[in-house]
Copies of this chain bind each other. A is one copy, B any other.
Amino acid sequence: MAKRPTVYDVAKQAKVSIATVSRVLRTPETVRPATRDAVQDAIRILGYVPSGSAQGLATQKTGVIGMFLPGFDAVEQLRDFTPSTKDEALLRPDPPAEGSALPQPDRLYFDEVLRGSEIEAWHQGRSLLINIGLGHSEEDITALVSDMAGKVDGMVVLARSIPDATLAFLRRRIPVVMVANAPQDDLPNADLVRVSNRKGMKALVNHLIDAHHVDSFAYIAGPDDSPDNHKRYEGFQEALSFHGINPATAPIYRGQFRSHLAHDITADLIKRRRLPRALVCANDQMALGAIQALNEAGIAIPDDVIVTGFDDIKETTSVVPRLTTVRQPMLDLGRAAVSVLAQRIENPTAPPIAIELPVTVLLRESCEGDMASETRE
């Protein structure tokens, strides 16, 4: 790993000027084949790799897209990597988990989006620079984001992963595409990529009414500050109104996108004998909590109560009955985000781009009952 060779070394080796070396790399057709070969040989011999920093400086672009991932509570994962000294590996009985294991939903979600971004980045001939926001202090995050901003041509930002002020700052400097964030008043003409939460919930509830003649609902909502949550509730309302049901007659219970609260809400509903025909939950975690409460009380799903979720997290198919839910195209979200960002980078003055990706309602036993006999698609 001697000192890395530069254009000058290559030029000398090939007996040409550095300009020619650069041309061979960028516009090979403008250089005579003979010289071109000479340069390429030199490059090979020296193992020359152009400096990205120098290229970036000269061209004013890096070919890199930044992506900032929110940090979870993973900071405590701080064990050491002590080489194993024992000659035996650890044995551990691993009995089946009781109750529903607490899922770690966001993580899978981001993994999918990330993967989609990687794929599209590849298509665009760009790299992805990723950072995870483990430092919980706002300064830390701002510093990190600012640092990234200096290294990339544009940035994909996941909904609510960075403070508003930081986001505003960022948007002054480089193109930014928001993912899964509903347009907000304070974000005029931002490029964004999202998913049709409203339509998904609406279609789901329409189905409950049309196919299952549900006439009484309860809605277990997510946190107030979640745009997703609002959009879903809008869809819920629309479906009800459309069928002449006054949405006001369907009670809302405020949750936190967590299964625990939904479990308690449901248990309370059971105790007070206020169970509706269908329990519509703003996301899967909560639906799982509800199912657990119903199962504990021996209430039949879907015969007594229908339960639905949103997101299609992994656990929805391991619970009994399997949960009817709405799947978001996470991978496409990532793909679309990077695609839009690339367009924006190439054409900074084009009008704002907003993409809405369609969702899919997955009908499963928690509303359909036994499906085993149906033909598999």
Q: State the A residues within 8 Å of B (CB).
A: 1, 4, 47, 49-57, 62-64, 69, 71, 74, 77, 79, 81, 83-84, 86-98, 107, 111, 114-115, 118-119, 121-123, 127-132, 134-135, 146-152, 169, 172-175, 193, 196, 199-200, 202-204, 206-207, 314, 317-318, 322, 326, 331-332, 335-336, 339, 348, 355-364, 368, 371-372, 374, 376-377
Contact = CB atoms under 8 A, between A and B. Distances in A.
Contacts of A361: 89-92
A359 B107 CA distance: 23
Instruction: Classify the interface of chain A: helix, strand, loop or mixed.
Output: mixed
A140 B111 CA distance: 25
A355 B150 contact: no
A161 B60 CA distance: 31
Oligomer: number of copies: 2
Given A91-B361, A372-B95, A74 B119 contact: yes
A81 B357 contact: yes
Contact of A89 (B122, B130, B203): B203
Contacts of A77: 119, 331, 335
B149 A49 contact: yes
Contacts of A119: 74, 77, 132, 134
15 contacts: A50-B150, A51-B57, A52-B53, A64-B129, A81-B193, A83-B356, A84-B356, A86-B358, A89-B361, A92-B362, A92-B377, A119-B132, A128-B130, A130-B130, A318-B318
